[in-house]
C-alpha cells in the first residue's frame, strides 16, 4: 500500500521497506513534512509524510520509560533524518501518549484532595453498589481504596437544586477555611465537585477564585468544566482523574514543547480518547481526554484499513509489547462509549470503546502457586525486556516463545536489534523443566494462553455487546498483533484477518488521519423535551465548540458540528447515545431522535417500546455536541501487480527451521529429536517483495520492518489491491 498526501503528488514510494529512507531522492522539492508518533511500552513508532514528494517513511525507536519525552524526540529526529529534512520542514506533529494511562493503571495518585458539598463528604466511599463478577463473589471482594481517602475530603456549605436554582448561598468563609487547610496539608492537586453544578457552575467557579487567592500553587479541576453531567459519583471521580493527571501531562507536554522549540515551530497535537486531536496548548487544560490516547489512534487507523479492504465493520486488534487493545468498527468508525474506565477509575468522558488485556510481546510467563502455567498481565516492558533482548531480563516472555519456535527472526527492525536466541532457548528450557513438559510444548502453551487471553478480550467487546464475532474480519496490527492471527481464526471463527502494510506503525499513521475534535455535554432530563430549551442548549454548546475551533486556527467555514443525545425509557437507570440531526430543532427533529433511540435500543437489547410510548415514554437525559476541525488526510494508493518480466510466483528470501502448533501437537511425548519435535524448514518471504494478488500457503513466515506474520499450515495469505495481507483458512465455513 502506498500513502500519499492529498493533492498533487510529486513522487511516490511504497510504505513497505522504508525504514532507512529509501526513495528519499536528492533534489526533490519538499513542501511540508507531517509526523505521527505513538509511544508504546516497548517501542516508540513514527510515521512521517513528505507531502511535497508523496513519500512516507516509517521507523521504530526504543521507548524510554524513565523519560518518555526523550524517546519522543529521538523519533522526531529519526523521521527527519529518513526524509533528509530539517526542523524547519515540519508542518505538524501528532502524538499518541500513554503517560496518563500508565499513571492511572499503576495507581500513581498522591497528594490529591476533594472539595464537595456539605453533607456529601462520603460520596466516594458510598460509590456504587455493583461489585466485580456479580454478587456470587461479593463475599470475597474487598472494596478497593478510594481515589481520595476520606481524610483528604473537605466540604463547603451552599446548595443548588437539580435545575441550578440556589437553595442556600455559597459559604465564602467555609471556602477560605477549606483552601487554607489544603495548603497547610501540602495538598496541591484538588478536584471540586458540588451538587448539581452541571446545572449551574456558579458555586464551583467561586471556589476556584478562593483557591486561586488562598492557595495559588494548587492545580484545580472543576466538575462543571470536566463533566457537566448528573450522577455525582461518576462526575466526582472523573473530575479527580482529570486533576490527578493534570500535573503529569503538563510537565510532559512542557518537556516536549521545550525540546521541539529547538528544532522548529510546527503545530504540536495530542491524540484524545474520543478519536480527535487537540493542540498541546489546549490539551493541558483537559488532560483526562488523553487517557486512551495511544489506543484510540490505532483503532482509527484500523478503521481506515478496514475500508480499504472493502468492509465498514471489523474488529481491531492492536498488539504491543505490554498489552493488546481491541475495539469494534461499525459503519466505518470505531464505536464510542461514555461508560469507560481506566484501571479501576470510571471516566465518563466520550472515548473510543476499547478493551485492554495484558497480553503483549513482553507478557511474562510464570508458574502459579497451584503449579499451572500463567501468562501476563505483568510485562517485562522495554527495560529490561524479554530474555532475547539481552538487557538483563530474567523471565520468559511471549516474544521469547516466538523466538524459540523460530516464528520471529533472530533480529528485529531489519537487523537494528539483534536477538539473543540462545538466551530465549535457555529460558524456555528451564521453564519447561519446572513444568515437566518439552520446551516445544511449553513455548506453544505460552502462546496458546496469550492467544486465548486476546480472544476473551475480543469476546468481551463483541458478544457482551450483542455482536457475533464471526460476522467481523479482524484487523491485526502493532508489533505483535499479526503473530497470533492464524490461531485467532481457529479460536474465534472470524472469517479472515487483515494485516495492513507496516502494521507495527499503524497507530502512528492513524495519528495523521485524525481531525481536531472537542466534545461538549449538558444534562437535560425531560420526558417531553421542550423544543425551545433543547434548541438553546444545542446553540450554546455549538458556540463553545466554535470558540475552541477558533483558538485552534480553523476558519468558521471549515467548522463542523455533530449533535447527539442520550435517551432512555422512563424508569431505566442508564441511557443510550444516538446521533441527532443538524438544522432546526422542531417537531421533526424530536421525532427523528426518538426513532433513532428506539432503533438503537432494539439493536442493543433485542426489544424496544416503539408502539407503547404511553406506558414507556422515552426520556431525554443529556445533549451533546462535537466540534470538528477537519484536516488533510493522507490518501492510500494501490499495490501494483507483479510485472510480466518477473517470476510468476513470489520467491522466498530465505528458509528457517520453524515450529508450528500442528507439528508439535502431532509429536510423540518426550520429543525424540528435531523431526519428532516438529521442526520443519519453512520459506521466509519479505513482504516488500510481494505484489497484488500474490498468494502464499502455510507453513511459511512473512517478515517486514517492525512485524512478522507466522503463517500456520492450512492457512493462506493473499495480497489485496491496497497491499493488505488477507489471511484465510481455505476449506472452512465462511
- Which residues constitute the domain of residue 616? 517-629
Which percentage of the chain shows pLDDT scores above 70?
A: 90
Please check whether residue 596 lies inside any domain of the structure.
Answer: yes
In this structure, the answer to whether residues 144 and 222 fall within a common structural domain is yes
Q: What's the angle, vertex CA 498, arms to CA 494 and CA 502, rounded to 5? A: 150
pLDDT at 14: 33
- Residue 97: the pLDDT is 85
Q: Looking at per-residue confidence, does 672 or 69 come out higher?
A: 69
Domain count for the chain: 3
The CATH number assigned to the domain holding 119 equals 3.40.50
Q: Are residues 80 and 135 in the same domain?
A: no
Q: What is the pLDDT of residue 678?
A: 64
93 lies in the same domain as 119: no
Query: Are 142 and 263 contained in the same domain?
Result: no
Reply yes or no on whether the pLDDT at 232 is more than 50. Answer: yes
Which of helix, strand or coil describes residue 326? strand
Closest C-alpha among 525, 527, 520, 573 to residue 547: 520
Shared-domain flag, residues 258 and 212: no
138 shares a domain with 236: yes
- Indicate the residue among 611, 629, 647 that finishes a domain: 629
**Burial annotation 581-608 (CB, 10 A radius, 16+ → b, else e):** eeeebeeebbeebbebbbebbeeeeeeb
User: Which residue, of 185, 209, 242, is where some domain finishes?
Assistant: 242
Residues 614-653 pLDDT 10s? 889 999 999 999 999 988 777 666 788 888 777 788 999 9
Domain match, 113 and 224 both? yes
pLDDT at 672 > cutoff 60: no
**CATH code where residue 26 lies:** 3.30.420.40
pLDDT band at 127 (very low <50, low <70, confident <90, very high): confident
Q: What is the pTM of this model?
A: 0.82
Q: Kindly tell me if the per-residue pLDDT of 30 is higher than 80.
A: no
User: Does 150 lie in the same domain as 32?
Assistant: no
Residue of 710 and 21 predicted with greater confidence: 710
pLDDT in tens, 252-272: 999 998 888 878 788 899 999
Q: Is pLDDT larger for residue 279 or for residue 41? A: 279
Partners of 163 in the beta sheet?
Answer: none
| Residue 486 belongs to a domain | no
In this structure, the answer to whether residues 88 and 163 fall within a common structural domain is no
Per-residue pLDDT, 31 = 56
Q: Please give the pLDDT value at position 11.
A: 26
Q: For all residues of the chain together, what is the average pLDDT? A: 86
Inter-residue contact 456 to 492 (CB < 8 Å): no
Query: What does the pLDDT look like over 319-372, one tens digit per residue?
Result: 988 888 999 999 888 998 888 777 778 888 888 998 888 888 889 999 988 889
On the question of pLDDT at 379 being above 70, the answer is: yes
Structure confidence at residue 367 (pLDDT):
93
CA 562, 566, 569: angle at the middle one, nearest 5? 150
Residue 135 inside a domain? The answer is yes
Say which residue, 449 or 17, is predicted with more confidence.
Answer: 449
Domain-located, residue 699? no
Amino acid at each position: 500500500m502506498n500513502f500519499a498526501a492529498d493533492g498533487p503528488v510529486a513522487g511516490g514510494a511504497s510504505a513497505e521497506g522504508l525504514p532507512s529512507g529509501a526513495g528519499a531522492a536528492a533534489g526533490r522539492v519538499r513542501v511540508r513534512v507531517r509526523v505521527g508518533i505513538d509511544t508504546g511500552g516497548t517501542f516508540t513508532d513514527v510515521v512521517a509524510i513528505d507531502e511535497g514528494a508523496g513519500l512516507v517513511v516509517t521507523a521504530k525507536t526504543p521507548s524510554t520509560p524513565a523519560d518518555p519525552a526523550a524517546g519522543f524526540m529521538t523519533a522526531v529526529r529519526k523521521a527527519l533524518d529518513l526524509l533528509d529534512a530539517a526542523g524547519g520542514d515540519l508542518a505538524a506533529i501528532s502524538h499518541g501518549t500513554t503517560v496518563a494511562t500508565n499513571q492511572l493503571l499503576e495507581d500513581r495518585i498522591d497528594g490529591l484532595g476533594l472539595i464537595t458539598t456539605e453533607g456529601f463528604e462520603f460520596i466516594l466511599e458510598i460509590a456504587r453498589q455493583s461489585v466485580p463478577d456479580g454478587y456470587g463473589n461479593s463475599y470475597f471482594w474487598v472494596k478497593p481504596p478510594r481515589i481520595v481517602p476520606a481524610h483528604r475530603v473537605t466540604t463547603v456549605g451552599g446548595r443548588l437544586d437539580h435545575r441550578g436554582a440556589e437553595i442556600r448561598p455559597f459559604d465564602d468563609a467555609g471556602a477560605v477555611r477549606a483552601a487554607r487547610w489544603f495548603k497547610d496539608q501540602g495538598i496541591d492537586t484538588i478536584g471540586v465537585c458540588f451538587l448539581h453544578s452541571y446545572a449551574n457552575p456558579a458555586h464551583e467557579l467561586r471556589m476556584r477564585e478562593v483557591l486561586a487567592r488562598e492557595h495559588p500553587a494548587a492545580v484545580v479541576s472543576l466538575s462543571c468544566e470536566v463533566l457537566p453531567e448528573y450522577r455525582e459519583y461518576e462526575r466526582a471521580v472523573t473530575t479527580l482523574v482529570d486533576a490527578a493527571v493534570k500535573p503529569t501531562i503538563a510537565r510532559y507536554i512542557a518537556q516536549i514543547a521545550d525540546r521541539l522549540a529547538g528544532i522548529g515551530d510546527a503545530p504540536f497535537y495530542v491524540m484524545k480518547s474520543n478519536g480527535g486531536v487537540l493542540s498541546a496548548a489546549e490539551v493541558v487544560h483537559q488532560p483526562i481526554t488523553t487517557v486512551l490516547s495511544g489506543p484510540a489512534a490505532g483503532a482509527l487507523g484500523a478503521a481506515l484499513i478496514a475500508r480499504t479492504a472493502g468492509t465498514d465493520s471489523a474488529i481491531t486488534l492492536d498488539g504491543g509489547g505490554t498489552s493488546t487493545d481491541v475495539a469494534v468498527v461499525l459503519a466505518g468508525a470505531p464505536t464510542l462509549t461514555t461508560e469507560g474506565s481506566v484501571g479501576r477509575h470510571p471516566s465518563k468522558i466520550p472515548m473510543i470503546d476499547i478493551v485492554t488485556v495484558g497480553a503483549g510481546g513482553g507478557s511474562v510467563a510464570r508458574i502459579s502457586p497451584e503449579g499451572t502455567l500463567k501468562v501476563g498481565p505483568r510485562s517485562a516492558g522495554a527495560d529490561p525486556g524479554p530474555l532475547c533482548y539481552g538487557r538483563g531480563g530474567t523471565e520468559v516472555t511471549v516474544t521469547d516463545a516466538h523466538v524459540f519456535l523460530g516464528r520471529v527472526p533472530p533480529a528485529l527492525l531489519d537487523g537494528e536489534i539483534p536477538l539473543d536466541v540462545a538466551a530465549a532457548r535457555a529460558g524456555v528450557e528451564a521453564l519447561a523443566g519446572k513444568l515437566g513438559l518439552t520446551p516445544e510444548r511449553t513455548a506453544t502453551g505460552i502462546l496458546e494462553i496469550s492467544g486465548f487471553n486476546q480472544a476473551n478480550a475480543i469476546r468481551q467487546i463483541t458478544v457482551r455487546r450483542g455482536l457475533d464475532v464471526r460476522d467481523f474480519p479482524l484487523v491485526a496490527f502493532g508489533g505483535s498483533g499479526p503473530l497470533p492471527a492464524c490461531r485467532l481464526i481457529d479460536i474465534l471463527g472470524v472469517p479472515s484477518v487483515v494485516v495492513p502494510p507496516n502494521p507495527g506503525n499503524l497507530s502512528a499513521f492513524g495519528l495523521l488521519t485524525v481531525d481536531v475534535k472537542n466534545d461538549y455535554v449538558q444534562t437535560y432530563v425531560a420526558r417531553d423535551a421542550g423544543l425551545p430549551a433543547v434548541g438553546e442548549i444545542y446553540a450554546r454548546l455549538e458556540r463553545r465548540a466554535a470558540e475552541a475551533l477558533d483558538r485552534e486556527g480553523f476558519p468558521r467555514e471549515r467548522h463542523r458540528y455533530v449533535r447527539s443525545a442520550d435517551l432512555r425509557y422512563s424508569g431505566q437507570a442508564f441511557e443510550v447515545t444516538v446521533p441527532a440531526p443538524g438544522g432546526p430543532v422542531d417537531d421533526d427533529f424530536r421525532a427523528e431522535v426518538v426513532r433513532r433511540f428506539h432503533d438503537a435500543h432494539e439493536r442493543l437489547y433485542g426489544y424496544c417500546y416503539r408502539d407503547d410510548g404511553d406506558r414507556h415514554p422515552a426520556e431525554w437525559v443529556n445533549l451533546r455536541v462535537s466540534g470538528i476541525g477537519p484536516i488533510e488526510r493522507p490518501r492510500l494508493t494501490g499495490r501494483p501487480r507483479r510485472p510480466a518480466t518477473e517470476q510468476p510466483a513470489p520467491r522466498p528470501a530465505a528458509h528457517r527451521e520453524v515450529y508450528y502448533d500442528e507439528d508439535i501437537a502431532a509429536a510423540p511425548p518426550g520429543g525424540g529429536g528435531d523431526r519428532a519435535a516438529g521442526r520443519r524448514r519453512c520459506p521466509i518471504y519479505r513482504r516488500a517483495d510481494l505484489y497484488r494478488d500474490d498468494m502464499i500457503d502455510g507453513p511459511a513466515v512473512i517478515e517486514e520492518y517492525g512485524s512478522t506474520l507466522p503463517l500456520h499450515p492450512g492457512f493462506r495469505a493473499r495480497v489485496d489491491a491496497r497491499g493488505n495481507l488477507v489471511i484465510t483458512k481455505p476449506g472452512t465455513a465462511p
